[in-house]
Amino acid sequence: MLNIRNTQFEKDGAMEEAEWLNTYEPRDYPPVGVTVDLVILTIRDKELHVLLVERGEPPFKGEWALPGGFVQPDEDLHEAAARELKEETGLRQTDLDRVYLEQLKTFGKPGRDPRPLRVFTVAYLAFAPQVPEPVAGTDAENAAWMSLAATRNMKLAFDHAAILAEGVERARNKLEYSSLATSFVGPEFTISELRNVYEVVWGEQLHPGNFHRKVMSVDGYVEETGRTTERGGERGGPRARLYRWGGATQLHPALLRPSETT
Amino acid sequence: MLNIRNTQFEKDGAMEEAEWLNTYEPRDYPPVGVTVDLVILTIRDKELHVLLVERGEPPFKGEWALPGGFVQPDEDLHEAAARELKEETGLRQTDLDRVYLEQLKTFGKPGRDPRPLRVFTVAYLAFAPQVPEPVAGTDAENAAWMSLAATRNMKLAFDHAAILAEGVERARNKLEYSSLATSFVGPEFTISELRNVYEVVWGEQLHPGNFHRKVMSVDGYVEETGRTTERGGERGGPRARLYRWGGATQLHPALLRPSETT
DNA sequence: CAGGGTTATGCTCAACATTAGAAATACTCA
DNA sequence: TGAGTATTTCTAATGTTGAGCATAACCCTG
């Protein structure tokens, strides 16, 4: 049944465990590699953007891909993802602390990486707050925030288009029952800014009055700072009150997408 | 930064891709393995059970573990999980078709497997319908359905206790928004049987009348077969109508856990 | 075979949540 | 200064949920 296990790990079932370890011969195995790839989302100019890097090395040299890299021997998966996040975004530690990072899904279809090495990738999803400057890439690689619309006309390296789609889908769902929309805005934000996150990620307009009431009614979602914006909106309107995240991670009840309710 | 990538894959950035492939030397890499492990849940005697196997080989020989095995070179992850599911449960194809299988999470902490090989495991979650007989294990391994209560007093091999906990947690959440409770019952079922799935997985009693109304009101959750059970419940009551799954995968609105609503 | 306990199904009513619309107010820009 | 816009609050209509109860069908015991 299980070729590898039967023929190699379990050559001799009666062998003692310590003794068995000595007979292990790594070179007998087909080579396998594990990487982490990151879907790092942010909102810029009222559009959802993802961080992409232009590959400086083969395979897919010159093509755009999700940032990522091999998991190091002494690293746990989440550590590896956090390290890549830090390296690739160039965010300062204080911003980095506010980034949400979760494991998304693992991809391992044979042939998804053209190298003569079976590469599995553990995809992670990250929500980054608005970053003022375009990101500085590491080394020779070029990195850029791309709008999701732009990525639809691009061919991404590997199976990264599928990974990206999976990440966006997860993000849309997460907004409903978690307070993760606050990860897309600064430490202090207005209710309108928060609403804008939902509108951009979901791609639909929300009723400002209802959204306001809803956010205020969910216990622990936001708390008042007592301050307001310095000025009204760009095209008018009063100054908005500033809020910070209230500590709740789950939303009860959830903030449902209008288009899915019907 | 990325040791493996820099020192090995990217020795020469200017090299042509075809040429580069020839210089690749698998033996330069630290050995890595990828397995799939399965959290297969079912309901027996009004309790949630998980399928465990007694390991016949080191490491952890003689201890109980989640079923699983190495991903074969030509297999995608989902295929590997489906194969293990088939091998380990001994379910017939017709039952197998009704089993729900989804990727759960990937675990890769260094040292989680004592072998001199970095083992990553992609955990899958499966919901099996009631199976009449205890499961026949493959080969020399012993396999058994264990109640969740029983597993809490056992030490499972590797980090399988954590994987199991993650799977149960996911299962609890899935019932809320999806119609997956139907994967735990037979092709035709009564509303009470369906309610029992929720009660067992969530570990709390539900209001029969409200549950009934809710299930009937969600479009596409269940559809009538026109038939009823042959007799009433064991301790009395009228015959119940039989339903089958109505095709909906998402529940709108969701069927929320009472204990989480408060 | 009568009657008590049990269950499936459906109904009601109060509490709560959501939608759509609008009002009051405070600001920007021309 | 006036037109347009945004924030915040309110209201009325509608939809959903929680808890209790009612009815009828059924099993089991005596």
- pLDDT at residue A81 is higher than 90: yes
More confident residue, B119 or B25: B119
Among chain B residues, the shortest Cα distance to A59 is held by: B17
Distances (CA, A) of B153 to A122, B146, B197: 32, 11, 24
Residue whose structure tokens are 């019952």? B185
Q: Are strands A142-147 and A118-127 parallel, antiparallel or unpaired?
A: unpaired
- 3 state SS for A117-186: CEEEEEEEEEECCCCCCCCCCCCCCEEEEEEHHHHCCCCCCCCHHHHHHHHHHHHHHHHHHECHHHHHCC
Q: Enumerate residues 6+ apart whose C-beta is below 8 A from B61.
A: A17, B55
Cβ of A253 near strand D (distance < 7 A): no
CB atoms within 10 A of CB A60: 18
How many Å does it take to go from CA A29 to C1' D20?
66
Length B233 CA → D28 C1' (Å): 11
Average the pLDDT over each of A102-111, B24-33, B142-151, B180-189 and give the range with the smallest value: B24-33
- What's the mean pLDDT when you consider all of chain A? 88
Q: With bands split at pLDDT 50, 70 and 90, how would you rate the model's confidence at B88?
A: confident
CA–CA dist B141, B54 (Å, integer): 6
For chain B, the average pLDDT equals 88
What distance in Å separates the CA atoms of residue B75 and residue A82, rounded to the nearest whole number? 29
What are the tens digits of pLDDT across the range A14-73? 344 444 444 445 555 679 999 999 999 999 999 999 999 999 888 999 999 999 999 999
What band does B7 get if pLDDT is binned at 50, 70 and 90?
Answer: very low
The vertex-B186 CA angle with B182 and B191, nearest 5°, equals: 60
Residue type at position B142: N
Q: How far apart are CA B20 and CA A117, in angstroms?
A: 13
- Closest alpha carbon to B119 in B128, B110, B127: B110
Structure tokens at A20: 């068995």
Chain B residues closer than 8 Å to A140 by CB: 13
* Band of pLDDT at residue A212, cut at 50, 70 and 90: very high
Q: Which residue has the higher pLDDT, A209 or B3?
A: A209
User: How many Cβ atoms sit within 10 Å of the Cβ of residue A122?
Assistant: 26
Rg of chain B (C-alpha set)? 22
Taking 50 as the threshold, does the pLDDT of residue A98 lie above it? yes
User: Residue B189: phi, psi to the nearest 5?
Assistant: -150, 160
Q: Which of residues 214-243 of A touch strand D (CB under 7 A)?
A: 216, 228, 232-233, 235-238, 240-241
Strand partners, B113: none
pLDDT over 70, % of chain B: 85
Distance CA(A150)–CA(A162), nearest Å, equals 15
Q: H helices then E strands: how many in chain A?
A: 9, 9
Q: How does residue A4 score in pLDDT terms, banded at 50, 70 and 90?
A: very low
Among A36-50, B4-18, B102-116, which is the least confidently predicted range? Answer: B4-18
pLDDT score recorded for residue A56: 86
State the best of A11, A25, A32 to mutate against chain B, taking most chain B CBs within 10 Å: A32
Phi, psi of B105 (to 5 degrees): -170, 160
